[in-house]
Structure formats: structure tokens, C-alpha cells
Structure 1
């Protein structure tokens, strides 16, 4: 008996099935792509929001510190010195302790008083969690020499370290303080 040659096999697939598979593949690729884009965008937004929250935090710390440091009453020097050390590192607080007697010798005879109102504060720079912040205040001061009082805009330049528990590591003034009109 002669051997029968196998007949070629054919597979038939409906066009609608092929189109459905292509549509499903396209939908899957689009979904994965949008999921990756969303994840990246969400991460960027979260990072931006965290950075903005940190900036608000350090500007508030700088403002609070500057107001406390600029609010002086010669009759309450220990309270003022306490405000100078609030939120600072031990090393900076020790510097204030070392200069306290000289500061008191200036404030008492002058009968110095001052009140401060915050104007603004801004982050100047940030590197590795160390923030440089400038805080600006309107300060009204009276003394034995100027009992009618004087008004000035005072600027503080502060360094605040996130890794040190958001403590102030440096305090200074800006060279360009503005006299009030």
C-alpha cells in the first residue's frame, strides 16, 4: 500500500480574535506606560511637596528665632538670653553663654528695649539638609539715649541643620540692613 501523504494542516483564526488580541496588547502597553509615568510624577510631586514643607519649616524656625532674639527688655536679660539659645546647638548656645556678661553690661546702662515684628523669611540655599535662611524683621527700639524710639529693618542670616534635629548652627546679621523711613 502506498503511503498517504499527509495533507497540510491549516489553522483558521477569526479576524475579530486577532484584532481583539492586538487591542488587548496595545491596552496593556498603554496601561503599563501610564502607570510608570504616574509613578514617576507622583514621586516628583511628593519630593517637591517635602522640599516645600522643609522650606516652610526652616523659614518658620528662622522667623521665630529672629523675633525672640530681637525682642529685648533690659529688665529681663536672662529671659532674652534664653531666647538666644532656644533651638541652637550646644556649641552655639555656649558662645551666647560666654558673651552674656558683656551683653548684659551693654543692655542695662542703656535701658534697652525692643520689639520685633516679622516681615519675611526665605531659604537662600540648601545643601545636604543644611539650610541657609534669611529672616527680616521690623524692630522698634528704645534706650536711655533714644527714649522716643527708633525703627529699623533687621536681617538675620541663620544656618539650620536638618540632621541635627533642625537646630540652628550659626546666627549672623546681613551687611545690608535697611533703615525704615
Structure 2
């Protein structure tokens, strides 16, 4: 026994180590857990209902902006087209009315000036027709000693297709002649055809012959 005691005293390290091992509690697995390292690349995001609402509102506003822009451009284009069409109609009416006034202003002393007015603003083909009929017109105007002046009333575009305008011009014509030296007044309608594609040239004239009485 003495021998064993002496050995233990001589070797305290083994005994102390055993006591230490018995006294030391086993590590708790919960204590040994550590936080998982963050994933490489950054933070994780969580979308809230409020963020969804804001995103939806922005999307709706963007769509509304695009739609409004399209509708505005379309409406603007329609307005511009309507304004251009109205301006063209007005110009056609002015051309027709001015021509009708010139064609209705006649003095038998100067039929050449009247013929010039008849041909003004017309196509070459129509002017050639007036040249052909000029001698016949002189045979009517000179014996009747015809004079007339015209007051414009109005003009109206009846139709338009492909730049071809059909226009009526309305005038009040005051005339004197050998049959009615005191003068007479009548309303005359000119039916004209104008070509916008040919610098608004007049391609056809109808109606003014009704103003002239038969001999």
C-alpha cells in the first residue's frame, strides 16, 4: 500500500488530469453553434406590401403617360388635318369667286380684256377652248352692246377627291344691253373645277353662258 501511495504522490499529473476530465462538463451542442456566415454577394432583400403598391402605381402611371401621349399626338394630327382641309376649301372658294367676278365683268368695247380674264388661271386645254369660241362670243356681245359688272355673293366647295375640287361661285350681275338699256340684275352661278395638284388651275367652267341673252 505504501508503494501505491508513493507512486500516486510521485505522479500527481495523471490523477489531476483524471479529476479535471471528470469535473469538466461536456460542451452543450447549442453553445458550440455559431452564426452561419453571410452569403457572398451581399444582403438578402424582403419585399413589403407597401413596396408592391408603389411599384404598381408607378407602372400604371407609366402606361397612362404613354397612352396619353399617343392620344394627344393622334388628336393633334386630326386637328392639323382638319385645319389644312378647311384652308384648302377656303382657297378653292376664293379662286373660284375671283374668277367668276372677272369672267362676269364685260365691256363690248374691249372683248379682248374679257377673253384674257376668261383664260386667267385656267389650264392650257381650257384656254384653248376659249380661244376657239372667242369669235362666236364677239358675235353675241358686239351687236348687243353688252356691259356687265359683278358683285360676289359666296362660294362653296361641293366636293373634293384626290385634289380635284368642284366649286360653285354665286354672283349678282348687273348688266345693260341693247334689249334692256335701263339695266337688269340677275344672280349667276358658276360651276368650276379646280386642280390643287396643278397649282389650283381651273380645268372646267360651267354656267356663265346662262347670263347672256339670246339674240
Q: TM-score under structure 1 normalisation?
A: 0.88
User: Given the alignment, which residue of 68, 88, 92 partners 1:58?
Assistant: 92
- Count how many residue pairs are aligned between Structure 1 and Structure 2: 172
1:113 and 2:150 equivalent? no
Query: What SS does the corresponding residue of 2:59 show, helix, strand or coil?
Result: helix
Q: Which has the higher contact order (CA 8 A, sep 6+)?
A: 1
Give the ranges of 4+ consecutive aligned residues of structure 1 lying more than 6 Å apart after TM superposition.
Answer: 174-177
Structure 1: distance between partners of 2:138 and 2:106: 11
Query: What SS does the corresponding residue of 1:134 show, helix, strand or coil?
Result: strand
The within-5 A match list for 1:17-166 is 17-166=51-200
Query: What SS does the corresponding residue of 2:72 show, helix, strand or coil?
Result: helix
Unaligned runs of 5+ in 2: 1-35, 37-42
**Larger proportion of helix:** 2
Query: What SS does the corresponding residue of 1:76 show, helix, strand or coil?
Result: helix
Unaligned runs of 5+ in 1: none
Q: TM-score under structure 2 normalisation?
A: 0.75
Structure 1: distance between partners of 2:134 and 2:92: 26
Q: For residues 55-102 of structure 1, what are the alpha-carbon distances to aligned partners after superposition, in whole Å with 9 as ceiling and x for unaligned?
A: 000000000000000011111211110000001000000000111111
Q: For residues 19-66 of structure 1, what are the alpha-carbon distances to aligned partners after superposition, in whole Å with 9 as ceiling and x for unaligned?
A: 222121111100100111111111111111111001000000000000
CA RMSD in angstroms, aligned pairs only: 2.3
